[in-house]
């Protein structure tokens, strides 16, 4: 079947249910991810004009790399599968574009060659590619993870094994997953004296996606490690707090309801997006993109999210409090009127971030 995205048209095999068993994988739902990738590549090149090379490390049909090539990146498409690389060649030719196609294990390629920008979009966890990708990236590493159950603690042991952190299945699960992923990437980069700092991250549908800008040196890598820490969370009243450092120091019990607290970490507690870069990416969303409206809305929400490591869901809080929910704008305005910072989040229509704790939120938003 033919698929048009952005400036290109590619051929992809008909996909059996959820893409499983197809000769070459293609997921139309990831168009938003790919549109934002193209916009991020454009914004990143404006910010860092010397960058020119892009590796689509797990290319499948090549749609992502073909789109990068159509945006004048000196592109390499890599896949371990013969059918995939043959399709990459065809899709480049169909669009009259030149790029290098490699049938290789991406880990072998990334260990032997470095690219300005590397994109790892594998099945499930990106961790098997993390070490090589960090060594094969000069400036920007783009990573997708689709193993949301291990990341957010729903598959606890698997999350611990893959990410070397304790994930907890909280009501802010998508953000938990994002911060567990970021923690693992930051710690892996730090092993090579590299600071990997997220400049754009979003958790959308069944995946987490992040763009990590690299800075080299032991000191900056240490600064990144300093932004790791723990979140302590009460499943009963939904109170939570966080502390920085690699040794967890949880309160003995929830200070509000005195129930048991769960601790997750080490997770990334720092910013998940650079608001200036996020605005620049929004400025690079163009009308030929199929998800332009959705991407623009997502990036606007991301850019306005306040910088706290967890978020709340108004509906869940109100249910606990035995109270009816209200319109989000009015709810957020009440928090601001009471002197707190507050914003919506991209994690869901009824979610918000604030610097108020759960007791203050309840008081500030009472009738």
Q: Residues annotated in the binding site for Zn(2+), as ranges? A: 234, 237, 254, 257
Taking the complex as a whole, the smallest distance from the CB of residue 286 to ligand SAM amounts, in Å, to 19
68/317 with CB nearer ligand SAM: 68
| Distance in angstroms (rounded) separating the CA atoms of residues 266 and 191 | 16
The most distant pair of C-alpha atoms in the chain lies apart, rounded to whole Å, by: 65
Instruction: Kindly tell me which of 61 and 351 has the beta carbon lying closer to ligand SAM.
Output: 61
Smallest distance from the beta carbon of 97 to ligand SAM, in angstroms?
A: 16
**Tokens 């994002």, located at residue:** 178
Shortest CB 153 distance to ligand SAM, Å: 23
Q: Listing from the earlier edge strand, what are the strands of the sheet with 351-354?
A: 312-313, 351-354, 342-344
Q: Contact region for ligand SAM (CB under 6 A) — 75-83, 187-195, 312-320, 334-342?
A: 75-83
Residues 6+ apart with CB under 8 A from 237: 254, 256, 257, 259, 320, 358
Which residues belong to the annotated binding site for S-adenosyl-L-methionine? 34, 64, 79, 105-106
Alpha-carbon distances of 197 from 223, 228, 287, rounded to whole Å:
10, 12, 30
CA distance 367 to 365: 6
- Which residue number, 10 or 335, has a Cβ lying nearer to ligand SAM? 10
How near is the Cβ of 312 to ligand SAM at its closest, in Å?
Answer: 32
- Does residue 184 contact residue 130 with C-beta atoms inside 8 Å? yes
* Choice from 23, 74, 105, 243 touching ligand SAM (CB under 6 A): 105
* C-alpha to C-alpha distance for 149 and 169, rounded to whole angstroms: 9
Closest approach, Cβ 50 to ligand SAM, in A, equals 25
- Which residue in the shown chain puts its C-beta closest to ligand SAM? 58
| 30 forms part of the interface with ligand SAM (CB under 6 A) | yes
Q: Which residue among 22, 63, 178, 267 contacts ligand SAM (CB under 6 A)?
A: 63
Contact between 343 and 305 under an 8 Å Cβ cutoff? The reply is yes
Residue 78 binds ligand SAM, judged by CB under 6 A: yes
User: Which of residues 88 and 237 has its CB atom nearest to ligand SAM in the complex?
Assistant: 88
Q: Does 84 sit near ligand SAM (CB under 6 A)?
A: yes
Q: In the numeric block, which tokens belong to residue 211?
A: 């763009």
Give me the residue label for tokens 């919506």.
Answer: 344
* Residues contributing to the site for ligand SAM (CB under 6 A): 25-26, 30, 34, 58-61, 63-64, 78-81, 84, 105-107, 121-123
């Amino acid at each position: 079947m033919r698929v048009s995205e952005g400036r290109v048209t590619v051929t992809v095999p008909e996909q059996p249910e959820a893409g499983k068993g197809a000769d070459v994988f293609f997921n139309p739902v990831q168009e938003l991810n790919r549109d934002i990738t193209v916009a991020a590549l454009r914004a990143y090149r404006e910010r860092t004009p010397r960058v020119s090379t892009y590796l689509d490390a797990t290319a499948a049909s090549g749609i992502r790399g073909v789109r990068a090539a159509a945006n004048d990146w000196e592109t390499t498409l890599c896949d371990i599968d013969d059918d995939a690389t043959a399709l990459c060649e065809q899709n480049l030719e169909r669009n009259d574009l030149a790029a290098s196609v490699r049938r290789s294990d991406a880990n072998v390629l990334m260990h032997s060659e470095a690219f300005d920008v590397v994109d790892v979009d594998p099945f499930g966890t990106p961790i098997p590619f993390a070490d090589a990708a960090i060594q094969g990236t000069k400036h920007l590493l783009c990573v997708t993870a689709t193993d949301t159950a291990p990341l957010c603690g729903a598959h606890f042991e698997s999350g611990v094994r893959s990410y070397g952190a304790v994930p907890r299945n909280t009501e802010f699960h998508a953000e938990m997953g994002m911060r567990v992923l970021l923690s693992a990437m930051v710690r892996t980069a730090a092993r090579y004296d590299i600071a990997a700092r997220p400049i754009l991250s979003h958790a959308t549908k069944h995946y987490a996606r992040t763009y990590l800008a690299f800075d080299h040196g032991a000191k900056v890598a240490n600064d990144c490690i300093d932004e790791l820490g723990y979140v302590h969370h009460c499943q009963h009243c939904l109170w939570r707090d966080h502390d920085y450092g690699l040794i967890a120091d949880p309160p003995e019990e929830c200070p509000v309801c005195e129930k048991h607290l769960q601790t997750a970490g080490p997770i990334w507690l720092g910013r998940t997006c650079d608001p200036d870069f996020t605005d620049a990416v929004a400025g690079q969303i163009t009308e030929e993109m199929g998800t332009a409206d959705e991407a623009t809305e997502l990036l606007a929400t991301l850019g306005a999210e306040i910088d706290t490591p967890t978020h709340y869901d108004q509906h869940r809080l109100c249910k606990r409090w035995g109270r009816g929910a209200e319109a989000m704008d009015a709810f957020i305005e009440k928090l601001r009127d009471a002197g707190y910072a507050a914003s919506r989040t991209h994690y869901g229509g009824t979610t918000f971030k604030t610097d108020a704790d759960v007791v203050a939120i309840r008081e500030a938003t009472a009738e």
